[in-house]
Structure 1
Amino acid sequence: MSARRWLVVSAGILANICMGAGYAFSVFKAGLIEALHCTPQQLMMAYSLSFAFLPVGMLVGGVLSRRFTPRVAVVVGGILFGLGVTTAGLVHSVYLLWLSYGAMVSVGNGIAYAVIIAVAVRWFPDKKGLASGMVVAALGVGTVVIAIVGQKLASELGAQGALRCLGAAFLVISLIASRFIQDPPKDYVPAGWTPPTAQDKAESGDVAWGRMLAMPVFWMLFLAYVCGATPGLMVIGEAKDVAVDVTKLGALMAASMVGMLGAANSAGRLVWGAISDRMGRLNVLCAIMLLNMTVLALMGHLTRSQPGLILSFVVVGLCFGGILGTFPSLCADRFGSRNMEVNYALLFVAFGSSGMLAKYSPQLKAAVGYDGGFLVCAGIAGLGLLLALGMRLARK
């Protein structure tokens, strides 16, 4: 049974590596603008729509998983995702790109993402943070891998030719991976693990989504998610400009700094998730918020030199990844794993809200400059720290 759960989570990792293509959109940007004869703003609407439709897909995944099986849900998600990427390589209108890459890809991604996280957590009740961290980190790894492969294919086949090839590959790989996605047997207990006591279960047992939305702790988690994710998204969105305008690096070196930030983001999902299994979820959340707030407050000074920029990007990336890596297990701890697909989909709306807030980073930069923007981000992280401390004290 121990080997079986590692097989299930490995299949989930493989599927999520494919799903990481949804965030490698910038690789195909120039080629798609030329092929579709559209403006950059029109093209990027497809990317913006993907953030809006991701929680929708997660909710659909929860319904499919409960009504049928997790395997069926991942099959549906994989088909939508693969066909969406393939269709993006066939369309001749930017509006159809919005439908394919903006809606189909994102809904398919959301369906598979929600189900894979929930199944992994149910197989690893003793290591929820590690399990959720591994499958969430796979998305980040997939973004890097697909960006490299996609760039190579696009240089030989054009952007749309690359999308057609990748879409077909994703469809096949997702369907193969789905064969191994299944829930553990009822009342499954890993060898050597002692389940929580009846009192612990009463405090954080399986909660249906309607009851969850009426609980104050859900909204505290929601706001903490927004405060944890928004600074990271803002820094990621402005990372290359910070490296060029503030640190005075060349374009190539600035791009490598952005890559380092992305690598730290992926690593943070796994590292913080695993640490949370030992230190406790809320303790780790407090540590992430405190570390993020401190470095963001100092970034105006740190980014004046390349070593300081590296330190800043690594810490912010690790903290941003930590938010994405620990919140699934936080959700499972507080509301149970039985209804996790739907419950986490609703909590994940906070991430979409962060994406909407992060869109205003150019306006923030124009109003207060980079240094002022860093301080605003530090303040947001500080609010997240207060929320995390409040939840930690409330549990005592």
Structure 2
Amino acid sequence: MELTKKRWIILIASCFINLCIGSIYGWSVFAAPMAAYLSSVTGRTLTPGDLAIAFTITNSVGPITMISGGWINDRFGPKKVIFAGGLLFGGGMLLSGFATSVGFLVFAYGIVLGLGTGMVYGCTISNSIKFFPDKRGLVGGVTTAAYGLSSVIIPPIANGLISTSSVKTAFIILGIAFLVIICAASFFIEKCPSDFVPSGWSPKAVHVGRSLKNDKDWKGMLANPLFYVMIALLISGAFAGLMCTSQASPIAQKMVGLSAAAATTAVSILALFNTGGRIIAGYISDKIGRINTLAISSLFSVIGLTLLYLSGENSVATFYIGISVIGLSFGSLMGVFPGFTADQFGAKNNSVNYGIMFIGFAIAGYFGPSIMKNVYSVDGSYQRAFVIAAVFGITGFVLTFVYKWAVKYQQTAANKNQKAII
């Protein structure tokens, strides 16, 4: 089958895989019942906030295998990397069902599952982007949207399993299902040839600039000052999304007074807008540019956080609008950044390069949930955490202008050097 047609099968398989690993965004549904279960087992009174360390570590260790798996992917292809990642991800979820302590849960869900997430996520997105140089923003949005869509689908399923059986059973059943689906779908994934060009498309037709003629490896990327602006922008943009995602259910219950079932709906709504934002922003970024899309995303983040700050007991409408805007903003950021990285530093080494860039996501994934937990434990409310996150959002907006200035400065310097040589 011609690769231009076959790439769509590869994209679909990648989306099914990301649909599985995106279940980590449904963590808040597991947090409360797992805290209750571990409290009964250990004799200690544990809260969802006490278990947030598992979710935090999941996001923190991902870049380790994104980078190492990306290196293997760039040389030998993604099939084996995704298969191994599927074993780790499904196995980590399954092992979480046997946890009898916070430490074991951190090992199973935080480390094993987190390492599997990094291996799979980096390969599916980078490989898909390579197959679609003509639709880089859209495909980056679609593949990451599948990742986000999991939080719309998985929370109701997980909640149903927890209600009818137990949280342990939910982890085990989902772990087995994810392991089978990811490993089976990996056989449909192929490595994109370095010289692949879709039929009927000319690179000149897409204005992606430097990336088509200047592929940089990780050393070249780290030597470029733009990398540090970009990773700071990623940290700033992801902070609010990861902070709210990690404890969306507890926020809905404690701050607004929603029931557990209604809080699960809030998690799904957050995920739905997260998913939609990835596709919409990915498509728009192909039209108006990645950095302009990210500037808009940063402003939306501040608006959403302001609405959450104003929410309180029975402020249901304000809360739902705020959490929806946060989801839209976070999804936009995550949908645009893979293509943004490939645009700037080239698609050839994007598996490793994006893995390194993703360290910014891990940093936000550590500090966002941690700050929210600490603020609530001290203040007994989440309001101050929303203010802190809003500062990050404003910082992200400012960084988009810093990026534009830095790009213009580099281009001016390059033109001067070229004239001097001539």
TM-score by length of 2: 0.84
Structure 1: tracts of 5 or more residues without a match = none
Alignment partner, residue 318 of structure 1: 328
The Cα shift of 1:146 comes to 2.4
| Whole-angstrom distance in 2 between the partners of 1:306 and 1:55 | 36
2:66 is the alignment partner of 1:58 = yes
SS of residue matched to 1:360: helix
2:366 is the alignment partner of 1:334 = no
The Cα shift of 1:330 comes to 0.7
Alignment partner, residue 284 of structure 1: 293
2:279 is the alignment partner of 1:270 = yes
Relative to structure 1, is the Cα distance of residues 369 and 37 closer, same or farther in structure 2, using a 3 angstrom cutoff? closer
The Cα shift of 1:44 comes to 4.1
2:37 is the alignment partner of 1:34 = yes
TM-score by length of 1: 0.89
Alignment partner, residue 25 of structure 1: 27
Q: Deviations over 1:32-75 (max 9, x none)?
A: 75368245366443333212211112122112213422111111
Q: How does 1:43-192 map onto structure 2 within 5 Å?
A: 43-90=51-98, 92=100, 94-192=102-200
Query: What fraction of aligned residue pairs are identical, expressed as a percent?
Result: 32
| Whole-angstrom distance in 2 between the partners of 1:135 and 1:167 | 21
Q: How does 1:154-303 map onto structure 2 within 5 Å?
A: 154-196=162-204, 200-201=209-210, 205-237=214-246, 239-240=248-249, 243=252, 252-297=261-306, 299-301=308-310
The Cα shift of 1:301 comes to 4.5
SS of residue matched to 2:203: coil
The Cα shift of 1:7 comes to 0.6
Matching residue's letter, 2:72: L
What is the RMSD of the two structures over their aligned residues, measured on CA atoms? Answer: 2.9
Relative to structure 1, is the Cα distance of residues 191 and 393 closer, same or farther in structure 2, using a 3 angstrom cutoff? farther
Contact 2:311 2:318 in 1 (8 A): yes
SS of residue matched to 2:232: helix
Matching residue's letter, 1:86: L
The Cα shift of 1:334 comes to 0.6
Q: Deviations over 1:336-373 (max 9, x none)?
A: 11111111111111111112221112444656965554
| Whole-angstrom distance in 2 between the partners of 1:92 and 1:336 | 46
Structure 2: tracts of 5 or more residues without a match = 409-422
The Cα shift of 1:392 comes to 2.1
| Whole-angstrom distance in 1 between the partners of 2:187 and 2:322 | 41
Relative to structure 1, is the Cα distance of residues 369 and 224 closer, same or farther in structure 2, using a 3 angstrom cutoff? same
Alignment partner, residue 12 of structure 2: 10
| Whole-angstrom distance in 1 between the partners of 2:316 and 2:101 | 42
2:318 is the alignment partner of 1:308 = yes
Contact 2:282 2:336 in 1 (8 A): yes
Matching residue's letter, 1:394: A
SS of residue matched to 1:24: helix
The Cα shift of 1:251 comes to 5.6
